[in-house]
A = this chain, B = another copy of it.
Amino acid sequence: MELTAVEVDIGTRSPTILLNRADATELGVRPLDRVQLSHGDRISIGIVEVTDGLVSRGTLGVTRRLGHVAGVVDVTLAPRPVSVSFIRKKLDDVELEHHELRAIVEDIDADRLNDVELAAYVTGTYTNGLSLAETRSLTEIMTDVGESLVWKDPIIADKHSIGGVAGNRITPIVVSIVAAAGIKIPKTSSRAITSPAGTADTMAVFCPVEFTLAEIQQIVEQVGGCLVWGGGVNLSPVDDKIIRVETPLSLDPPGQIIASVLSKKKSAGSTHVVIDIPYGEGAKVRDLPNARELAEDFKRVGEHLGLTVECTITSGSAPIGRGIGPVLEARDVLAVLDGGGPKELRLKSLRIAEILLGCCTSDANASTLLESGAALAKFREIVAAQGGDPDVTIADLVPGGETVEVRADRAGVVTHIDNALVSELARRAGAPKDAGAGLYLNCTVGEHVEVGHPLFTIHAEHEAKLAEATQLLAVSEPVRVRSVGEALVERI
């Protein structure tokens, strides 16, 4: 059939071809089918949506992702990409071969799969799992797709934390310590997806975080480390597309986590990596056996890629720092670097830095680097190199002025702080978009509190958002206080 093509931006990720219902019926195609457009000697394939109004009969709409298509084109039914049959195999619990995974990754990269097929890939790898061989292949293939960084140094350090724990902002501290030890650490981090702040959101409080790969290379060559947003560069483009589909379902297939993390590290040119795996109620990894298994697989796949991988398994059942939300976390980070700050955040950062330094065969001492102020000086260098104010003080980092303080309504022991609930409160208060919004914890698990002891403070930049957060307070118990007797029973 011959139709006239016009460009329409309907906001879909995949190359979409919008057909008038009458033309679609005539062609015998349905939504989610694919059609091929031939125009001159060029051929484009896109996924069909059917409309009654947006394009009229005889005309078809094409999205920009399809490339430039205009004027009269010949339209024919196109077959599904072959990778769809490999996704189908995974749903039937058949182990996929290297070339089959490659076809899937390449089709994801080229936006050739529709949302149904992408979701089937993610749910299939979740319910049926990925074998070690599949995970290895996938990591290798995802490393090949996208750009990469190359360094002269033989040792390039990196770290990654599996998410889900509130206030776990150890990265700026670890990077500063390791870079202060003279080991290059080109750290890319994510922005918040479902949490109140990612490392990139917290760093954005101090300085710009969006750079090109060439700029990142230059910053790291100059000061030994960086703390930038990974989404601004093309190190693992497929990862973002997979995450987009995982997010609505809160899915994180373990094999996919390994492939995503390690392919990104490999593309960043890293050679020595520490993976922090928090486990426990509310964390992404639920229990110790699962954490151990994930750690073993991380090491095995790392070895296959020629990476030295160390894993730490840490408690993830309660927040680490006191602040939750970009500015509140930035204050904690600066306080720790300055010799104070929340104890748990300080201890965890030091331990991870120590392990990473050991793994890089450095004999530098993490505590000394932190206590001497060397790490703080290095952090200020990184902030300056990224275009921020190196002389920033905690007083400059002002949390949102609309606040509600929540106090203990009985005396007792803090038995539980709920990661998911404090994160949700911080998000409702406006984090991460309102950098000053969030939540500050005035207690830790195990602490004895009297009636009226402040438990936490919610900060917002806007009154309406504070109200949205406090609404949730009425029906939830983010910090649990129990009398000593109750607390004992609860622990049995």
Q: What residues of chain A have their CB less than 8 Å away from a CB belonging to chain B?
A: 8-13, 18-19, 25-26, 28, 30-33, 49-54, 80, 84, 87-88, 91, 93, 114-120, 122-124, 126-128, 244-245, 247-251, 432-433
Contacts and interface: CB of A to CB of B under 8 A. Distances in A.
A28 B433 contact: yes
Nearest to A25: B433
A127 B32 CA distance: 22
16 contacts: A9-B53, A11-B19, A11-B54, A25-B433, A30-B244, A32-B248, A84-B249, A87-B249, A91-B123, A93-B127, A115-B119, A116-B119, A117-B119, A117-B249, A119-B123, A120-B251
A10 B8 CA distance: 10
A118 B9 CA distance: 24
A49 B10 contact: yes
A51 B18 CA distance: 15
Contact of A18 (B11, B28, B30, B84): B11
Contacts of A127: 91, 93, 123-124, 127-128
Given A11-B31, A11-B50, A54-B11, A249 B114 contact: no
Contacts of A26: 433
Contacts of A120: 119, 122-123, 249, 251
A82 to B, nearest CB: 13
Given A13-B31, A123-B127, 5 more contacts: A11-B54, A26-B433, A80-B248, A87-B249, A117-B119
Given A126-B91, A248-B114, A54 B10 contact: yes
A49 B12 contact: yes
Given A115-B119, A248-B84, A249-B120, A9 B128 contact: no
Secondary structure of the A side of the interface? mixed
In the A-B complex, the 4 residue pairs with the smallest Cβ-Cβ separation, listed nearest first, are A119-B119, A11-B51, A9-B53, A11-B49
Given A119-B116, A120-B249, A9 B84 contact: no
Nearest to A249: B120
A10 B80 CA distance: 23
Nearest to A12: B49
A411 to B, nearest CB: 35
